[in-house]
Structure 1
Amino acid sequence: MLVPRPYGRLALWLLLYIILFSYFILLPTSPSKLLGTPRFLPTDFFVHTQPLDQFECPSRYCLDRPRIHEVLSDAPSLERYIFKSALSSGFEGAISIYNDTRTGQNVAIKSFYVDRSPLRNTLPDAAVTIFGETRWPTELQFMLLHANQLHTERREPINNGLVNVKDYFIVDDGGSKQWQLVTKFYQYGTLHNAGPKIARLLDLAPNLTTSHLDDIFRSSFEGVLQTLTRIHAQGFCHDDIKPANIFISDDPYHWLIGDFGNVRETSHPYHDSKIWKRQNQWRDCRKNDIRRLIMVYLSFLRSFHHTDIFVFDGEFLKGTQGWARLYWEFSDVQDFAPASTTHITTGPSESTRGTTSPLYYYYYYYYAPPARFVLSSNHQAAKMQVDRRLHCSFRTWSGRIFDRFLSSFFFFFFFS
């Protein structure tokens, strides 16, 4: 008996779905299997940084002193912190807001999901006897080391352009142990869709052009760029620059880089892996970080235009405004721009700022690409192009093909 045509097509698509589902189910998912993949190989901190020295390291950030646990965590539990509300959750862990009973201030505490995302790095031998664990979050080790490298004296507060660690400890509920990382709670949040919030906070006029907004916030962007350049100079890449990882400090014009769970040395094997390339990442992770930072900044400017977004999209695709050239000309010349920390004066823009930035970032001053074609009669098509260009969760060519398969499936199944 012949199967009716619609049901036959449905059966074929179900078969394809089962095959794809089985493929992803068979991928390594347990922590032990994931640790063998390039993405979860440990970050080598001691190749590019000087080891922590107890004579140079301030006690607050010294890992090889036995009293480190006493200094940072007198009460290795949540007794000091009172839960207020859940904030967010992701692949690596969950973040909640607590009140620090000693200071009276709100803090953010991140709990790490070791069953879902394995801890990549091992503790220093001296710390193993303190914590009774052999692995700890890569994010925590980087935050402690970076503070040590930039500050040889104890300072409060530390201002290095990063979200810094305030406390850390292990919670043992009897069944499992979880690392807890305590940082300051930033009430203004991150750059994710932050335009309307910042506009209200700073009482900005509602009809400001993107060029005017760029004049206001370019120095904020360049401050983050300088922080990122210092990280690169130490031999590391962030590898996860996105709006949700750029935090707004108490000063709305001062932004901080956070979430260092994916930080790796520049020569890490993951940067040469197939999965890295398939995610549309550039091989030079330093340029890739800067590329993504540009995308974050332009997405931030775009978020101010939630009612007239097509104006931003049209100007972005034309690539004639200074803020738009920020993206296009860096992308066009990235193959010619060496990874250098040489500095030059910034190229022309809507205002004279007199600041300096890395040479491999401002190559657009010397290379002028052609203007982009804009589908001015189709705002939705332009919006889709800009969405794809500025979205930090990259889609690969295979992912886009799979998207087309899905759209074709729905079209033929429901309309044929």
Structure 2
Amino acid sequence: MIPLKSCEAALERYRWARLVFTILSQPLSIFWRQDLSMSKEKGPVPWNRRSWTRINQPWSKKWVKAMVLLTLVLGSLHGPSMVYTHRKALLDKFTATTFDHLAPKEKQSLTRKLWKWEDSTESAVDGPLYLRQDIWAHRHEWKPLGSGSEGEAFTYNNTVIKIYKTAHHPFRNCVPAIVPEMRWPTEIAATLVLGGMAVPQSFQQDTAFLPVTDYFLSPATETQSPKWHFLTQFLPMGNLAKLSKRLHDSDHSYNGLELDMIFRASMERLLQALGRMHEKYDLCHDDIKLDNIWLSGSEDLEGAKHWILADLGNVRELSHPYHFSMLWSKLNNNLPDCRANDVLRLLKAYVRFLREAVDDVATFDMQFFQAQEPWAQLFWSTWDAAQTQRPVSASADADGGLAAGPEWLVPESSAACTCWGKAVEYLDTNNNFVPATASPDTPTTMPVKLVYHDGHYHTAQVTHEDGQNEHQGGLWQKTSEVWDQILYGIGSVYFKLCGR
């Protein structure tokens, strides 16, 4: 049995403990009641998360929302600005070509109204092999030759008939001395100036540009409106792309030096033609490639040596706005000077022609990147001059030739110049360098660079630092190119929908 005094002592201790607890818990109960009232008015109090989850806290969300909003605002302002920039570049591209440096005879050929169908049944060139009325009367017998975004091509009676479309490529130039204003293809005007009218019998041996057989605006029919027709002589030998294939498939195994000795004079004649085009007429071709260099001779090796330039629809004067636009320099990767760009594109096309015609491609690639042959030295010396922004002249290149010796082929600068490549590269259809099979001396896994020093070109291994710089620059360039292509497409759609 527990004594009464002990029970009373325990009860007293309990009372004192309860009093202390009540006193200490009073502030907490007041704070708890206030917190409950605030939670009912403002919602639940967020849980205090750990430091690594602070981005989900309300103050962090506000900053994230602000940054997203700022990005959207800047993007909404920058996007239309870039679309406007690309649309302006398109407008520059489709600006008319001006022909300011013409002789009186050439001006007269542009202002003649032989293209009119209703005023004259006489064609621009009438002869025993061609009559305009005969061509038009047998239009249902025309054989399709090809089709593209600019138009369709047909052939009939040794004549090529090109019919232009305006859906994707509006005409840039106005027909001279015509009121109200009427437009026609730039190719017709440029070919009249540079190629002239064709001689009915045959091509003249000094012809460097494809001459005009006839040109007219067809009469309207029940099914179609009047369309521009451009007629030239049919060339059965084709272009350089077909010639290179025939040489490669022939029984004889050609090498680069042998082909260069056969066709170097042909290429130099084109360089001289470009020189006259640049200096006399102040014009640039802007579209030199294998498909635009044609053979006008007979169907043998000797006839294959006569090359002429065709497809002059992209001819523009030196000061044309397109030559200073982002489409010219950034998207198409052209040189600032359109004359130097023409020369380099011709040399690229020539090297590609040699490569596609040779039998041993690996040896050709090694000779090309080590500049062991005169044709390779000619290319790399011109490339070096273009990259270092030294003057590049078509006349100087044509006058240099093989007879000038290696002294002319060496760049003027004594400093080392570097031409980048992934082992061995070749030229694709757009005259751009792309990786190919490496030579035995240069493994594909070993990046190399071509270095010119002390009068010779040689390959050197790319250092780690060089590779890092090249990789970073290439990645940024590719990202920029993709973005520019997207904006170019948006600008093109806007251009087609809203017009000029």
TM-score, normalization by structure 2: 0.58
Match of 1:225 among 256, 266, 271: 271
Where does residue 353 of structure 2 map in the other structure?
300
Where does residue 123 of structure 2 map in the other structure?
72
Match of 1:43 among 97, 106, 122: 97
Match of 1:392 among 418, 421, 431: 431
Where does residue 122 of structure 1 map in the other structure?
174
Once the two structures are superposed, the pairs formed by residues 190-209 of structure 1 within 5 Å of their partners are 190-192=239-241, 194-198=243-247, 205-206=252-253, 208-209=254-255
Q: Is 1:330 paired with 2:401?
A: no
Match of 1:164 among 211, 214, 236: 211
TM-score, normalization by structure 1: 0.69
The answer to whether the 8 A contact 1:291-1:331 is kept is: yes
Where does residue 315 of structure 1 map in the other structure?
367
Distance 1:370 1:280, change over 3 A: same
Q: Aligned AA for 1:219?
A: A
Deviation at 1:215, TM superposition (A): 0.8
The answer to whether the 8 A contact 2:248-2:356 is kept is: no
Q: Deviations over 1:124-163 (max 9, x none)?
A: 125x68xxx7000101011112245x99x99964542111
Quote the Cα distance in structure 2 between the aligned partners of 1:83 and 1:393: 40
Q: Deviations over 1:212-248 (max 9, x none)?
A: 1111110111111111111112100000001110001
Distance 1:63 1:76, change over 3 A: farther
Deviation at 1:198, TM superposition (A): 3.8
Q: Is 1:99 paired with 2:153?
A: no
Q: Aligned AA for 2:376?
A: A
Once the two structures are superposed, the pairs formed by residues 79-90 of structure 1 within 5 Å of their partners are 79-81=137-139, 83-90=141-148
Distance 1:330 1:156, change over 3 A: same
Q: Is 1:179 paired with 2:228?
A: yes
Q: Deviations over 1:83-127 (max 9, x none)?
A: 45322233322222x223xxxxx111111121110000000125x
Where does residue 185 of structure 2 map in the other structure?
137
Q: Deviations over 1:341-397 (max 9, x none)?
A: 765895584xxx479xxx9xx66464578698999xxxxx545x3236x84269996
Quote the Cα distance in structure 1 between the aligned partners of 2:140 and 2:378: 44
Quote the Cα distance in structure 2 between the aligned partners of 1:108 and 1:167: 10
Distance 1:67 1:221, change over 3 A: closer
The answer to whether the 8 A contact 1:35-1:118 is kept is: no
Distance 1:320 1:227, change over 3 A: same
Indicate the structure with greater helix content.
2
What secondary structure is seen at the aligned counterpart in 1 of 2:375? helix
Quote the Cα distance in structure 2 between the aligned partners of 1:348 and 1:227: 15
Quote the Cα distance in structure 2 between the aligned partners of 1:76 and 1:35: 43
Q: Aligned AA for 2:103?
A: Q
Where does residue 453 of structure 2 map in the other structure?
none
The answer to whether the 8 A contact 1:86-1:95 is kept is: yes
The answer to whether the 8 A contact 2:152-2:163 is kept is: yes
Distance 1:287 1:235, change over 3 A: same
Where does residue 262 of structure 2 map in the other structure?
216
The answer to whether the 8 A contact 1:170-1:179 is kept is: yes
Deviation at 1:39, TM superposition (A): 0.5
Q: Aligned AA for 2:345?
A: R
Unaligned runs of 5+ in 2: 1-78, 125-131, 298-302, 435-472, 484-500
Quote the Cα distance in structure 2 between the aligned partners of 1:348 and 1:336: 21
Unaligned runs of 5+ in 1: 1-22, 101-105, 376-380, 406-416
Identity score, percent: 29
The answer to whether the 8 A contact 2:271-2:394 is kept is: no
Q: Specify the structure having the higher radius of gyration (Cα).
A: 2
| Cα RMSD, aligned residues only | 4.1
Quote the Cα distance in structure 2 between the aligned partners of 1:240 and 1:348: 23
The answer to whether the 8 A contact 1:318-1:372 is kept is: no
Quote the Cα distance in structure 1 between the aligned partners of 2:384 and 2:291: 26
